[in-house]
Chains A and B, each alone.
Chain A
């Protein structure tokens, strides 16, 4: 039964009938509760009701302990009422009055996701259309009336011409748009975003080979300003660090593998959190992967040294190793020198999508990388990705999706007042737009895919979801209150967190673990190269 069925005629259900009136088979999810956002199997309804009742009894009889549920307990997967109630019940230590001890559920850390088909059903149908962005365009259109709408229509038309191969018509549309731009406000809103897309289309038509250039130094500068101007990267780091911290609990030797070190902005916070860990910090190894420096500097090592200084100042034993690689699928697991005794965290902030392009010489880079990640037997893999589908086969679809996605992102950037961070952050975003619109083949690296596709891919590669709980959610929400702009919102979905602007998710953070042990023979036995200060 679809969650949104419109009202037809009364089905004459008596008030004491059990389960929904939808005629579900018992092993199916209750359709009406699904429409309310909850997953409960029809056959489990009675049991869940019993547990709710038990929780309420506990509430009444131990109100002080119950109040701790709010402050100390970590909540997971609120959609799954059964496991949520169980985890609440397990917070209570003594249960003498319950006569049926077999019903007392031990804490289940991660309830396995119900059939993926259910989570697909729950996902919005709008793979092609994202109304949240349309809302941006719609609101702006009411200010600029025809011009804004006309620009969007011209952009779509131009994208279609490009896809058809009609370069001359596309060119004439670009001219028309450029002249329309002179009559529209380009400081903000639709005019600004349209400007970037017109520019990107024009590059695609007239100078594709120059479109995607950019040195690694340039990239680092753009990245840093994007980091400062808006909360997306900070959210990514916060959320990943929280999950890594929890995964490292109880381990004395830990090893973080960062797929894109950049300036190592993510790691000071983790180092400090580990320093403050009750029971003392572990021995922390950090392996930072990054592109080779063209000028012979060892920029990876420089960052490593800075982080080592910080770690030394807070008494965290620390070792750093840099791995220079221009592509992740060039990295071989032996380069990472993982020690079987250590707990490994693999951290990928917007890197996996770069592996989705393939050509005959490269096979499938994403499969290569996912399989060597698995072979490291990591305790946790943190994945942050843009929440959009910019990897669709048809150019027009990618273009449309990108138009809406980046409109929302630019809109959120309006809230930033820091300069030059804001302007340089716009250049960072512009580079992404250019790559999505102008490039093809291996040089198109911005192949963003939404969380639902990553979930499929990671599940298929032998990873299962590690739910991010209410602690991570709370951290992320608190982070947002530091930004004066209202409009950012964090949401939980199937154990993952998304950060978005006005209810349109723009970036997703998720955590994964291997679902089965690999062959022991794959683990390299290595000695640790010491860079300890």
Chain B
């Protein structure tokens, strides 16, 4: 925390519903226990505390899910979420991978958050979020269980994201529309947003198609301490200190926060001008201390000539999209729906 002995949590309590406050505070405290000062991570305890749910091929509220191994060598798993067909009761084996319709069905490759270290594709909060995305956008969601830091540093998560993208494009059953191709969007919150950006970069460089990026509170940073970081340090669940810890855990040894993974428009980054980068929807929470970096990211994309829709939610904190109990949740869901529709 910011060094004072008194803990003042009143500000955060006033801006979120009580159950949201309990949820995010619980994460904050548990995560504090898991991060060790020497940079190692208590993975066993993390897995014990993380609430997970299994996939479910029986539709619940019209959505069913199943797990697929994309790459045995790295144990890369992803969980696929789909709308259940209206007339049928239970998907059988073939229908899990049944073809999509002639109408375009967006395929959203989702990278969960957790600052590169926490959570999994089968974490309850992300399973729930993925299901909501399917219902909201009538999309297929592919939630990627990427390798996490500190055990797996840069660029493992990006490699896993890239593998997932190639895999999605190679599935004939994920193609839809008259042009019979996979209509792929990359999405992610926090570290997942960062991964989405870097996978999109690689896609652009190699000519693989991505129709759009959806970044919710994406995790970016840099060596400079920005105004929003100083102003909001410790006030709304997040501290500069914990951000630093996660970057140290993810970035390779010897790197600082101006490494292009962390700071894609920083002094060490390659230019994005002239490459075929997809359009982006960037959602920034007004009470997130990283917002200056996020807005800087959006600006950087615009300056490089790319299409960006920046949404700034004044009174939102991190994690606003985890529970559907606030207006920000619903407005962002609508924006995402428009973004992936034609």
A70 contacts across to B, CB distance below 8 A:
33-34, 36, 42, 45
B186 → A minimal CB distance (Å): 21
Cβ-defined partner of B25 (8 Å) among A56, A66, A79: A56
- Which residues of A in the span 105-146 have a Cβ within 8 Å of any Cβ on B? 124-126, 128-132, 134-135, 137-139, 141-142
Instruction: State A2–B61 Cα separation when bound (angstroms).
Output: 8
Q: Are B67 and A56 in contact (CB under 8 A)?
A: no
Interface stretch of the complex, out of B48-56, B223-231, B293-301: B48-56
B32 close to A (CB within 8 Å): yes
B5 contacts across to A, CB distance below 8 A:
60-61
A17 contacts across to B, CB distance below 8 A:
17-18, 325
A11 contacts across to B, CB distance below 8 A:
325
Say yes or no: A135-B49 contact (C-beta < 8 A), given A15-B16, A20-B19, A20-B325.
Answer: no
Interface stretch of the complex, out of A209-217, A423-431, A438-446, A473-481: A473-481
B132 close to A (CB within 8 Å): yes
Instruction: State A128–B64 Cα separation when bound (angstroms).
Output: 14
B112 close to A (CB within 8 Å): no
Interface stretch of the complex, out of A36-44, A301-309, A359-367: A36-44
A414 → B minimal CB distance (Å): 9
Q: Are B18 and A7 in contact (CB under 8 A)?
A: no
Instruction: State A126–B96 Cα separation when bound (angstroms).
Output: 15
Instruction: State A125–B96 Cα separation when bound (angstroms).
Output: 17
A30 close to B (CB within 8 Å): yes
Q: Are B68 and A490 in contact (CB under 8 A)?
A: no
Say yes or no: A126-B58 contact (C-beta < 8 A), given A17-B17, A19-B17.
Answer: yes
Say yes or no: A21-B325 contact (C-beta < 8 A), given A126-B58, A131-B55, A149-B93.
Answer: yes
Q: Are A7 and B136 in contact (CB under 8 A)?
A: yes
Say yes or no: A67-B44 contact (C-beta < 8 A), given A13-B325, A49-B22, A57-B7.
Answer: no
Q: Give the number of chain B interface residues (Cβ < 8 Å).
A: 80
Say yes or no: A52-B22 contact (C-beta < 8 A), given A21-B325, A487-B75.
Answer: yes
A199 close to B (CB within 8 Å): no
Q: Are A126 and B56 in contact (CB under 8 A)?
A: yes
Instruction: State A142–B4 Cα separation when bound (angstroms).
Output: 58
Q: Are B57 and A134 in contact (CB under 8 A)?
A: yes
Q: Give the number of chain A interface residues (Cβ < 8 Å).
A: 79
Q: Are A30 and B19 in contact (CB under 8 A)?
A: yes
Instruction: State A495–B49 Cα separation when bound (angstroms).
Output: 11
A16 close to B (CB within 8 Å): yes
Q: Which residue of B lies closest to A488 (CB)?
A: B75
Q: Are A134 and B66 in contact (CB under 8 A)?
A: yes
Q: Are A45 and B19 in contact (CB under 8 A)?
A: yes
B271 contacts across to A, CB distance below 8 A:
none
User: B1-22: contact bitstring with A at CB < 8 Å (1 yes, 0 no)?
Assistant: 1001111010001111111011
B128 close to A (CB within 8 Å): yes
Cβ-defined partner of A132 (8 Å) among B50, B55, B325: B55
Cβ-defined partner of A36 (8 Å) among B23, B42, B47, B75: B23
Q: Which residue of B lies closest to A487 (CB)?
A: B75
Q: Are B37 and A134 in contact (CB under 8 A)?
A: no
Say yes or no: A36-B323 contact (C-beta < 8 A), given A124-B54, A138-B97, A141-B93.
Answer: yes
Instruction: State A80–B65 Cα separation when bound (angstroms).
Output: 26
B208 close to A (CB within 8 Å): no
Say yes or no: A53-B9 contact (C-beta < 8 A), given A30-B19, A35-B124, A152-B93.
Answer: yes
Q: Are A38 and B63 in contact (CB under 8 A)?
A: no
Q: Are B53 and A56 in contact (CB under 8 A)?
A: no
Instruction: State A505–B55 Cα separation when bound (angstroms).
Output: 12
Q: Which residue of A lies closest to B45 (CB)?
A: A470
Q: Are B75 and A473 in contact (CB under 8 A)?
A: no
A310 close to B (CB within 8 Å): no
Q: How many A-B residue pairs have CB under 8 A?
A: 232
Q: Are A4 and B48 in contact (CB under 8 A)?
A: no
Say yes or no: A4-B322 contact (C-beta < 8 A), given A124-B56, A503-B55.
Answer: no
A53 contacts across to B, CB distance below 8 A:
7, 9, 25
B60 close to A (CB within 8 Å): yes
B128 contacts across to A, CB distance below 8 A:
3-4, 35-36
B217 close to A (CB within 8 Å): no
Q: Are A473 and B17 in contact (CB under 8 A)?
A: no
Instruction: State A118–B94 Cα separation when bound (angstroms).
Output: 33
Say yes or no: A129-B90 contact (C-beta < 8 A), given A6-B131, A503-B54.
Answer: yes
B101 contacts across to A, CB distance below 8 A:
none
A442 → B minimal CB distance (Å): 33
A173 close to B (CB within 8 Å): no
Q: Are A6 and B135 in contact (CB under 8 A)?
A: yes
Instruction: State A48–B25 Cα separation when bound (angstroms).
Output: 10
Say yes or no: A81-B54 contact (C-beta < 8 A), given A6-B136, A75-B45.
Answer: no
Say yes or no: A132-B17 contact (C-beta < 8 A), given A470-B44, A477-B47.
Answer: no
B29 close to A (CB within 8 Å): yes
Instruction: State A66–B37 Cα separation when bound (angstroms).
Output: 12
Q: Are A491 and B52 in contact (CB under 8 A)?
A: yes
Cβ-defined partner of B54 (8 Å) among A59, A486, A504: A504
Say yes or no: A15-B15 contact (C-beta < 8 A), given A38-B26, A81-B22, A126-B56.
Answer: yes
B268 close to A (CB within 8 Å): no
Q: Are B96 and A134 in contact (CB under 8 A)?
A: yes
Instruction: State A515–B36 Cα separation when bound (angstroms).
Output: 39
A7 contacts across to B, CB distance below 8 A:
132, 135-136, 324, 330, 333
Instruction: State A33–B323 Cα separation when bound (angstroms).
Output: 8
A15 contacts across to B, CB distance below 8 A:
15-17, 315, 326-327
User: A196-212: contact bitstring with B at CB < 8 Å (1 yes, 0 no)?
Assistant: 00000000000000000
Instruction: State A218–B123 Cα separation when bound (angstroms).
Output: 43
Between A9, A35, A49, A505, the greatest number of chain B beta carbons within 10 A of the residue's beta carbon is seen for: A35
Instruction: State A131–B64 Cα separation when bound (angstroms).
Output: 10
A487 contacts across to B, CB distance below 8 A:
75
A278 close to B (CB within 8 Å): no
B151 → A minimal CB distance (Å): 11
B191 close to A (CB within 8 Å): no
By a beta-carbon cutoff of 8 Å, the part of chain B in contact with chain A is 1, 4-7, 9, 13-19, 21-23, 25-26, 28-30, 32-34, 36-37, 42-45, 47-58, 60-69, 74-75, 77, 90, 93-94, 96-97, 122-125, 128, 131-132, 134-136, 315, 322-327, 330-331, 333
What are 27 pairs between A and B in contact, CB < 8 Å? A4-B61, A5-B324, A6-B134, A7-B132, A20-B323, A32-B19, A33-B323, A37-B123, A38-B26, A55-B29, A57-B7, A60-B7, A67-B36, A70-B33, A70-B45, A78-B48, A85-B26, A124-B53, A125-B56, A125-B58, A126-B57, A132-B66, A138-B96, A139-B68, A149-B94, A473-B48, A503-B67
By a beta-carbon cutoff of 8 Å, the part of chain A in contact with chain B is 2-7, 9-13, 15-21, 30, 32-33, 35-38, 40, 45-46, 48-49, 52-53, 55-57, 59-61, 66-67, 69-70, 75, 78-79, 81, 85, 88, 124-126, 128-132, 134-135, 137-139, 141-142, 149, 152, 470, 473-474, 477-478, 486-487, 490-492, 502-505
Nearest 4 CB-CB pairs, A to B?
A37-B51, A6-B135, A37-B124, A131-B57
Given contacts A9-B330, A60-B4, 7 further A-B contacts (CB under 8 A): A6-B134, A15-B315, A48-B22, A70-B36, A124-B53, A125-B58, A502-B75
